[in-house]
Structure formats: C-alpha cells, structure tokens
Chains A and B, each alone.
Chain A
Amino acid sequence: MINAKTIFVAGLMGLSLMSTSALAQDASSSAASTAAPASSAAAPATSSASATPAVAEGDTVVKQHWSFAGPFGTFDKNQLQRGFQVFKEVCSTCHSAHLLAFRNLSEPGGPEFTEAQVKALAASYTINDPDADGGKRPGLPSDTWPGPDQTPADLKAAFGIVPPDMSVLAKARSTEDRFPNWIFNYFTTYSEGGPDYIHALLTGYEDPPADFKLPDGKFYNRIFPAHAIGMPPPLTDGAVQYAPGPDGSTVPLTVDQYAKDVAAYLMWLSEPHLDQTKSAGFRVMAFLLLFAVLMWMVKQRLWRKVH
C-alpha cells in the first residue's frame, strides 16, 4: 500500500542506489558544496570519522568533541575566554573581526567577562573617530573590534591575500560528509564543520613531503587545499600563557589546546546567541509536542462522529 513509509523507503533506496558507486570511490574525489578559502581550486577532502578523535592520516579532518555540539551542547565559558586570549594575542595581529563589539564579550552566552573588564579592554584600544579630538579616542564597549594596525594593502603584500575577517569564519568553513552520514547530521544537528576545519588546519602544519614543490612564501599544511597556505604557522607550544581557572585547574599549553580554544571562540563569534537559541528551541519543541497531542485528540474526537 502506498503510504508515507513506502515513499520514504523507496526514496532512500533510490538515493542509495545512485550513491553506492560514488561511495565506493576514493574519499578525495570532489563532491557537493563545501567551503574553501577563496583562493583555492580544489575542495578540502574530509572523513566521516566518528566524534572520537582518531590518528589523522593523509589530508582528512578529524572531528573533535565540542562542548557546544548537538541539541544539548553549550559553550564552555572558560574555553571561550581562553580562545579570546589566543585571538587577541595571536590572530588579531593580522585578522580583523569587524562584527565583534567589545560589549559582546560581557553578554550572556559568551566568554562573559565582567563589564569592568570589557570597559578596560576597550579603553586599551585606540579607535578612529572623526568626531573626537585629533580623530582618535580610547575605545568604548559599544565600539567594534578595530582591525590590525597594518593596512589591508600591506597585509596583502605580505601574505598574498588580505587575511580573512574572522567574524563569521567558523560558519564560512565546513567539513563534508558523504552519504548517508549527512542524513544523520540532520538528527544530530551537526553544525561544527567550521571549528573542526579550523582546528584541523591549525594543527595541520608539518614538513612537506620530499617530492612536494612548495611555492615561495607559502607553508605546507595537511588540510589546506593544494597544501600551500599563505599563513605562517601561528601557534607554537607555550605561545599563550593561560591563567589558571577559578578553581586552580589548568589546561596544557599546546598547539592542539590553543587550536581547540580559538576554534570554539570563533564559533561563538559566528553564533553568539547559540546557547539562547537552543534553550528557546527546547521550550518551543516541548510546547509543539504538547499542542500536537491536544490537536490530535480534538481531531479524533470530532471525526469519531463521521462515517
């Protein structure tokens, strides 16, 4: 009998039929839409490995466990603060973040610095303001993050392109899942392709293979398309000194840790309201389920009379 179940199964069968051969192909063949840095030609190859980090081999992105993953995930405030520190001390030298306002750093759902801390931080930066004396003034919490000191032209000369703005970088990058994994993503709500990619890239610097021709001024990276990236490896062990947590706990000062922290921070920067959206979502879903049950009962009650 033709009903919803039949169609669903038929559709799935049809899709699997088509994709079986494609699935059997080498993982590095190009497939549907992925994100890639603007200057690349090929798509980054990925794996559909499970959340448990495995030994990275070849040029695959190993997915990480993120505190904010899944419907129940939330940001880890301490991780966001550490990530902000990495961003501030390392990344912001060359990368802008023009959609970040200082006040965002004290808003709920983020690193949640205190308002006093944010005020002091903002004041430590000089903002161009045509209304101010001499055209410059100390920053205010309402100001947005000032760009790097060097001009875009200088940066382009140094790196070949202007380093991309970081405001939505974690949304502008992704990993790719082959069929049928991408179907499961709709149920696990996997949205962490950006942080996974960023972490993999930052930990993906290594010596090029002997036969690899690395163009001048570029650096070898396992993850970056065509393996030649203009960004010099930004992180080294011990580069950023984290203060211990309120309870005295510490994290290892390693590239892997910095990469995780800054990737989580960049995810927050892209989606500052993630936590609030998810908690609103729970209330809406619970309400809808209740409402659906009630409507079902009303409909049944009415229709019982009809033959």
Chain B
Amino acid sequence: MATESNLAHDETPDPGKRDFLYIATAAVGVVAVGGIVWPLINQMNPDASVLALSSIEYDLSKIETGQAVTIKWRGMPIFVRNRPQKEIDEARAVPMDQLKDPQTDQDRVKAGHDNWLVMIALCTHLGCIPIGESGDYGGWLCPCHGSQYDTSGRIRRGPAPKNLVIPPYKFLTDTKIQIG
C-alpha cells in the first residue's frame, strides 16, 4: 500500500522516466547544496582588507651598509640587512657539509643584489625572534633555546632544523623591493 510503505526506495513499478526525474532533481539538489556550502566556507578565507596587505613594498635607500631593519609583512617580522662585503665573503666560504640545512648564500639572495638579505625573522625552531649581530657565527642568536645563525641566516648550531626562511620577494628597482 502506497500509504504504508517506507518509501526510502520507490517500489511502484514504473522505472525509466520516473527514475530520471528523481535522479535529475536529486542532482540539482546536490548542486544547490554545493552552491550554498562553498560560500559559507569561503567566507573564512582572508578577506579583501587582509589580502590588500599580502604584498608590501619597501624602500631600501635609507639602510646603510652594516645596518638592518625589522619590518612587518603578513603579521610577521622581516629582517632586511645591508651586508658589508666581509659578511658576504664569510657566508660564501662555509663548506656545505658544515650546514645542518645545506644552502648556498647565492641561493638566499638575488643576483646582483648580494648585499641584501631579506628573511622572515622567526626562528625555525619554535618561532622566537632572533637577536642580530650576536652569536658565534656573526649572524643571529635566538634567546629562547640558543639556536645560532650565520651571516647568511643559516642555522649553524642549536635545535632549529632549518635556515631562516626567505620570503618571496623581488627587486622593483635597485632601491625598492616588493615582498609577497
């Protein structure tokens, strides 16, 4: 009896055309659900005001040789250091087998702008901000657990697993970079 049956599956004998309607409608229903669910999730993605700050420009002209500044990008501190030639040479003299995270200094800077070191200023151990011009390697020392980085920002000693991260950046002019 049609009034009694549990109609989770339709049992009346008339397949084909009837089934197509139910399947088509169910498919449209699925599209509706998808079309509704995606915006509800997407609203949690960064909004326009956050994305507007996802990329910044910085003018390097005020940083003299041997100086470093800390600026903010995507909520993170960034070290921008104008390295003297001595530090560049020191960094390039280090053999790869001495590095926990082998990486050449050339890979960490932009060609033609070797004096400029741009790094995310968060220790790759647990995220503290290392102190500049400290430690035994002429670079940075993290006060939290003692990680030490060299003049190229590479990890030399201590618990940190990786070198200080280089953010995506490029030179717009000789004195201006865009990060992100």
| Contacts from A to B (Cβ < 8 Å) | 101, 103, 107, 131, 140-142, 287, 290-291, 294-295, 297-298, 301, 305-306
Tell whether, in the assembled complex, residue B52 and residue A141 are in contact, meaning their CB atoms are under 8 Å apart.
Answer: yes
Tell whether, in the assembled complex, residue A142 and residue B3 are in contact, meaning their CB atoms are under 8 Å apart.
Answer: no
A291 and B29 contact, Cβ closer than 8 Å, known pairs A301-B18, A306-B3: yes
Which applies to chain B's interface (DSSP): helix, strand, loop or mixed?
A: helix
| Contacts from B to A (Cβ < 8 Å) | 2-3, 12, 18, 21-22, 24-25, 28-29, 31-32, 35, 48-49, 52-53, 56, 72
Tell whether, in the assembled complex, residue B2 and residue A305 are in contact, meaning their CB atoms are under 8 Å apart.
Answer: yes
How far, in Å, is A276 (CB) from chain B's closest CB? 12
Contacting residues, chain B, for A131 (C-beta < 8 A): 72
How far, in Å, is B33 (CB) from chain A's closest CB? 11
**Nearest opposing residue in chain A for B54, CB measure:** A142
Further 5 A-B residue pairs, CB within 8 A, beyond A294-B21, A297-B21, A298-B21: A142-B53, A287-B32, A294-B25, A295-B25, A306-B2
Contacting residues, chain A, for B3 (C-beta < 8 A): 306
Contacting residues, chain B, for A290 (C-beta < 8 A): 28
**Nearest opposing residue in chain B for A143, CB measure:** B52
A291 and B21 CA atoms in complex are apart in Å by 12
Tell whether, in the assembled complex, residue B12 and residue A305 are in contact, meaning their CB atoms are under 8 Å apart.
Answer: yes
A107 and B35 CA atoms in complex are apart in Å by 24
Contacting residues, chain B, for A107 (C-beta < 8 A): 48
A294 and B28 CA atoms in complex are apart in Å by 9
Contacting residues, chain A, for B52 (C-beta < 8 A): 101, 103, 141-142
Tell whether, in the assembled complex, residue A101 and residue B49 are in contact, meaning their CB atoms are under 8 Å apart.
Answer: yes
Contacting residues, chain B, for A294 (C-beta < 8 A): 21, 24-25, 28
